[in-house]
C-alpha cells in the first residue's frame, strides 16, 4: 500500500472518530483526542486536526471540533461502510466479534460506492449495526429498483408460510428486545409468518404469537434453505 493510500485511510479514521464522538453528544477537542488515542484511529493530535481543518474537512472553534459539509459526507461514507460490513460478517458469515471488527476496519477503506450499495441491498438495508448504532442510509435505501436480490428482508415483506430465520432485530426501545427474547423471538430462531393484518402472526416453534406492526418492522429475516 502506498503512502497516499495510507494517508487517505488515516484521514478517514480521524473523521470517523469525530463523527462517532458527535453521536455520543461529545464535541470537546480533548475528548476527541482521548477517544482517538484509545481506538484504531491511531495518533491524533492538534496538528493533525489543524491539517484536516486546512483541507476543509473540519472546523476548530476554541475547544470544540465539528465536521464541515465535505468532512460530514466523507465521515458518513466510512461509517456506513464499516457498519454494513459488521452486519455482513456477524449476521451472514457468523464470524466472531474480534474477526468482524478487524475485517470491517479493513473494508471500510476499500469498498466502492457500488459495492457498498450492493452489500446494503443484500442485507435488506439494515438500519443499525450489530451494536445498535445507526447505519447512515445510502442511495440504494430509497431506490425503487434493486439490482441485487436481498438475502435479508424485513419481516413484513417476507412470504407467508415460508420458513425464515431471524438474522437480527433492531428495536427502537431496548426493553422490546427483552420481551421478544422471553417469547423465543431472538436472532437465530426459525419462524413462519402466517398473517399480516390486522396484526402480524408468526409461529415460533410450537408457539403462535401476534405482533404489533411497529414491532414486526424491527425484525429482519432470511429464507431457510432446504
Q: Could you tell me the three cell numbers for 112?
A: 466502492
152 C-beta neighbours (distance < 10 Å), count = 24
Q: Do domains 79-142 and 153-223 have the same CATH topology?
A: no
Radius of gyration of the chain (CA): 20
Q: Give me the DSSP letters along the chain.
A: --HHHHHHHHHHHHHHHHHHHHHTT--BHHHHHHHHHHSTT----HHHHHHHHHTTSEEEETTEEEE-HHHHHHHHHHHHHHHHHHHIIIIIS---HHHHHHHHHHHTTT--HHHHHHHHHHTT--SB-TTSPBPPP-GGGG-SS-SS--SSEEGGGSPTT--EEEEEE--SSHHHHHHHHHTT--TT-EEEEEE-SSSEEEEETTEEEEE-HHHHTTEEEEE---
Q: What are the tens digits of pLDDT across the range 141-168?
A: 876 445 555 678 889 889 999 999 898 8
Alpha-carbon distance 3 to 1, whole Å? 7
| CATH class of the 153-223 domain in this structure | mainly beta
Helices 29-38 and 3-23, packing angle to 10 deg: 120
Alpha-carbon distance 147 to 78, whole Å? 22
- pTM (two decimals): 0.67
Q: What are the tens digits of pLDDT across the range 196-210?
A: 988 999 999 889 999
Q: Could you tell me the three cell numbers for 58?
A: 473540519
User: Taking the domains of the chain in order of start, what are their residue ranges?
Assistant: 3-67, 79-142, 153-223
What b/e sequence results for 53-71 when a residue is b if at least 16 CB atoms lie within 10 Å of its CB, and e otherwise?
A: eeeebbeeeeeebebeeeb
What is the full per-residue pLDDT of the chain (226 aa) written as tens digits? Answer: 333 443 777 788 888 888 988 888 888 877 777 776 666 555 566 777 788 899 999 998 888 888 999 999 999 999 999 999 998 888 777 777 887 787 788 778 888 888 898 888 888 888 889 888 999 999 888 764 455 556 788 898 899 999 998 988 877 777 888 889 888 998 889 999 999 988 999 999 889 999 999 899 889 888 887 6
Alpha-carbon distance 140 to 160, whole Å? 26
Alpha-carbon distance 81 to 79, whole Å? 5
Alpha-carbon distance 86 to 135, whole Å? 10
- The arrangement of secondary structure in 79-142, i.e. its CATH architecture, is Orthogonal Bundle (1.10)
Q: Are 115 and 140 in contact (CB under 8 A)?
A: no
Amino acid at each position: 500500500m502506498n503512502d497516499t493510500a495510507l494517508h487517505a485511510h488515516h484521514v478517514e479514521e480521524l473523521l470517523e472518530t469525530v463523527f462517532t464522538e458527535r453521536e455520543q453528544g461529545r464535541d470537546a477537542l480533548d475528548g476527541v483526542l482521548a477517544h482517538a488515542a484509545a481506538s484504531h484511529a491511531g495518533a491524533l493530535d492538534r496538528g493533525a486536526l489543524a491539517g484536516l481543518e486546512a483541507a476543509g474537512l473540519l472546523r476548530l472553534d476554541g475547544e470544540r471540533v465539528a465536521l464541515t459539509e465535505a468532512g460530514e459526507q466523507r465521515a458518513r461514507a466510512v461509517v456506513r461502510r464499516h457498519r454494513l460490513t459488521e452486519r455482513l460478517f456477524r449476521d451472514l458469515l457468523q464470524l466472531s466479534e474480534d474477526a468482524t471488527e478487524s475485517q470491517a476496519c479493513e473494508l471500510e477503506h476499500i469498498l466502492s460506492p457500488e459495492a457498498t450499495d450492493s452489500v446494503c441491498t443484500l442485507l435488506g438495508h439494515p438500519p443499525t449495526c450489530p451494536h445498535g448504532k445507526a447505519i447512515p442510509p445510502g442511495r440504494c435505501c430509497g431506490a425503487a429498483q434493486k439490482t441485487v436480490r436481498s438475502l435479508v428482508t424485513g419481516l413484513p415483506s417476507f412470504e407467508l408460510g415460508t420458513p425464515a430465520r431471524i438474522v437480527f432485530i433492531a428495536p427502537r426501545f431496548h426493553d422490546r428486545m427483552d420481551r421478544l427474547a422471553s417469547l423465543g423471538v431472538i436472532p437465530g430462531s426459525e419462524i413462519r409468518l402466517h398473517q399480516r393484518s390486522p396484526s402480524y402472526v408468526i409461529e415460533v416453534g410450537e408457539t403462535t404469537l401476534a405482533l404489533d406492526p411497529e414491532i414486526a418492522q424491527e425484525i429482519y429475516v432470511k429464507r431457510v434453505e432446504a
